[in-house]
Amino acid sequence: MASHKTSDTGLLSAGRHMQNQAVRSHRYRWVALAVASMLVFVVALSGFIFMRLQNNVHTASLNLGEASSQLENGALDILLIGSDTRAGSNSNYGDASDQASGARSDVMMLIQISADRQNITSLSFPRDLMVDIPKCTDPETGTVYPATEATQINESLTRGGPGCTVATISQITGVNIDHFMLVDFNAVKELSKVVGGVEVCVNEPIDDSYSGLKLPAGTSSVEGEQALAFLRSRHGFGDGSDTGRIKAQQGFLAALLRKVQAEGTLTNPGGVVNIAEAITQNVTVDEGLTSIKTLAGLGSIFGQVDLSKVVFATVPTEPYDLDANKLQISADADTVFKRLQDDKSLVEEQPAEPAASSSSAPASSPTEEQIQYDTSAHVTVLNGSGKDNRDQDISKIVKDLGYISVSSTQADSQYSASALYFQTGYDNEAQQIADKLGIKEVAESAAVTGIQVVVGTDFTDGEKVGNNSTEIAGGASGQTADQQTCQQAFAY
């Protein structure tokens, strides 16, 4: 197994070099006295805030397993766990049976911050993933939970706490996890309120009675209960599975990071305190992550990193052999895990455009001419770009491909990202149009007749979308934080 060790003192350098400026002139001594008085006040206030935040933090043991690793490379690995507990202030979510069943890990994201602090990777694990859970010992009761095979991964939290989830994912990935953060429903609600809402996008209206999520088509700002519903909704997105929910969560977090960077929230002391207050009241961390300075330093890293170097990905999976409604890790995941072990980004380097060649393509690879396209398929172009007549520009491009039934319409609101949705049976046609327009977001949808092209604010000019060229190692699905995505609504 790989190990990525680092000390809290070595983690954060921001803020360590502040020094009092010497008074340059006796004439301005009164200014110095005034400044000194202000500094005393600020230090006193900071001490009060520090103590308050410090007292908010709850702790638990880091790793309840027995495995350990020796390799050290300086990367920092933090497991973010979202608990579905209905206890205490979360009792409004779910019924009595939910409250009695104990907390499970509803969200699991392994976040790696590279040794040079230039790359951040967030790898999500579906809660329906079948894995082997190692032997874990509850630090509070001493209860020993034996190792089990083919167990749903979210059960790991019930075996002594977050330390068992840490041990499980460390065993799966070969990565030695340095810290964890366990957050509950209220953390999401309060954080979304502090930042003034997070912008999300859906291609069709959503009214999910399970989570309470209600959104119109297009772009909306969500906070509080609706932000929580967006992250919890399983029946609202994609095919109604956990993978669709994870994709929505990744889009939400990317939008959140874009917002706080644009507004400077994570580099503004006041903004950091507000966020820290919201988080620390609803989070449990390991003993090594209790320092408020360390938490604030993490915020500084996220506040300054290049958004194109922040990757949100989902571990590659396939249907579980014994139950198609569950998942198991696929062989492609090894590539992803090796990247993490080696402290490398999951973003694939884009090869240079190949030079023109006169050699013929292999017979096994059909050429554009060999594929038969049904150009009678009806194509609808929905203009959500905010630019007048943009739908007509795109319609012309589609017609130039030979499609004879093309209509266009204006969306009621703007869409942050372009996407293409298609009816069953139009896979080839959808991909042809998507390739022509440079659209990466392509998905089958029961809510669409024929093919629907959604033109977002990322496609206001030109003939190709220029914002969606990222390829992720191991063929994993995901996005970078600079990419704006529009989620596919699930049709019941």
Q: If pLDDT is split at 50, 70 and 90, which confidence band does 98 have?
A: very low
**More reliable by pLDDT, 485 or 391:** 391
Give the pLDDT mean for 395-420.
Answer: 93
Nearest to 327 by CA among 252, 242, 394: 242
DSSP letter assigned to residue 347: B
Position 82 pLDDT exceeds 80: yes
- Which has the minimum average pLDDT: 4-8, 70-74, 398-402, 481-485? 4-8
Scan for tokens 């989070």, then name that residue: 283
170's CB contacts (< 8 A; 6+ apart) are: 1, 63, 65, 67, 176, 177
Partners of 83 in the β-ladder: 105
The CA distance from 263 to 488, in Å, is 28
DSSP letter assigned to residue 210: T
- pLDDT at position 101 is 39
- CATH (residue range 59-341): 3.40.630.190
Assign domain 379-468 one CATH number from 3.90.105.10, 3.30.1330.10, 3.40.50.410, 3.30.70.2390: 3.30.70.2390
The CA distance from 176 to 168, in Å, is 11
Nearest to 102 by CA among 81, 126, 79, 83: 83
386's CB contacts (< 8 A; 6+ apart) are: 414, 457, 460
**More reliable by pLDDT, 155 or 14:** 155
> b/e for 129-167, b at 16 or more Cβ within 10 A?
bbbebbbbbbeeeeeebeeeeebbbbbbbbbbbbbbbbb
CA angle 342, 346, 348 (to 5 degrees): 115
Nearest to 80 by CA among 120, 118, 124, 132: 124
Q: Within the chain, how many helices (H) and strands (E) appear? A: 12, 25
The percent of residues in the chain predicted with pLDDT above 90, rounded, is 47
- Which has the minimum average pLDDT: 125-129, 167-171, 211-215, 481-485? 481-485
- pLDDT at position 55 is 65
The CA distance from 81 to 98, in Å, is 18
Encoded tokens for 260: 């706080």
| Averaged pLDDT score across all residues of the chain | 80
The CA distance from 82 to 104, in Å, is 8
Nearest to 307 by CA among 348, 261, 267: 261
Give the pLDDT mean for 289-302.
Answer: 76
CB atoms within 10 A of CB 118: 12
Per-residue pLDDT reduced to its tens digit, 343-385: 999 988 655 444 433 333 444 445 556 688 999 999 999 999 9
- pLDDT at position 348 is 82
**More reliable by pLDDT, 68 or 387:** 387
- pLDDT at position 120 is 95
Q: How far is CA 391 from the centre of its chain?
A: 30
- Please state whether the predicted TM-score (pTM) of the whole model is above 0.75: no
CB atoms within 10 A of CB 371: 11
Q: What are phi and psi of 343, to 5 degrees?
A: 55, 50
Position 486 pLDDT exceeds 80: yes
Encoded tokens for 488: 């596919």
The CA distance from 29 to 24, in Å, is 9
Count of residues in the chain: 492
